[in-house]
Amino acid sequence: MKKIVVVGGGAGGLELVTRLSKTLGKRKLAEVILVDRSRTHVWKPLLHEVAAGVINKASDGVDYRMHAAQHQYQFQLGNMSYIDRDNQSIYLDPLYDEDGLEILPERTVEYDYLVMAIGSITNDFGTLGVSEHCYCLDSLI
């Protein structure tokens, strides 16, 4: 069985793993794995409403583990640090808790197909005054 790894659980990555698991995963034609450094997906077009206090940030996220269980793909929490193309594997950084204790060591995830769906962040292109006067809505943090 082929292993498809998607790095990045934004709108594109989440839609892709959902469709792949529906078309290939449920029929055992491929193992589908989503890797993301966050536990939840937040729909970026709603971030302005979170900032304005119109909606609650906790109520409008999609928990990746729950979504993975519902759609029969695997979820790996972690930040990808390296791609080893020769061995078709990616490396995930260790995970630490709030106190700095390691809860998961560095891990390796092998793949047959790798999709990089890491999304984007705001770029002010060096425009004077933007960094001092603009609030960028890239995440809930």
Closest CA to 32 of 17, 22, 19: 17
pLDDT tens column, 65-85: 999 999 999 999 999 999 999
pLDDT tens column, 28-67: 999 999 999 988 866 666 655 666 666 665 556 788 999 9
Tally of domains within the chain: 1
Torsion of CA 9, 64, 28, 116, to 10 degrees: 10
Residue percentage of the chain with pLDDT more than 90: 58
More confident residue, 136 or 23: 23
Whether residue 119 lies inside any domain: the answer is yes
Q: Which domain holds residue 31?
A: 2-133
**Mean pLDDT score of the chain, rounded to an integer?**
87
Average pLDDT for 91-118 = 95
Residue in the structure block whose two tokens are 């990746």: 64
Q: Supply 107's token pair.
A: 């891990």
Count of positions (residues) in the chain = 141
HEC string of the chain?
CEEEEEECCCHHHHHHHHHHHHHHHCCCCEEEEEEECCCEEECHHHHHHHHCCCCCCCCCEEEHHHHHHHHCCEEEECCEEEEECCCCEEEECCEECCCCCEEECCEEEECCEEEECCCCCCCCCCCCCHHHHCCCCCCCC
Domain at 95, CATH number: 3.50.50.60
pLDDT of residue 7: 98
Whether residue 141 lies inside any domain: the answer is no
Whether residue 22 lies inside any domain: the answer is yes
pLDDT of residue 124: 83
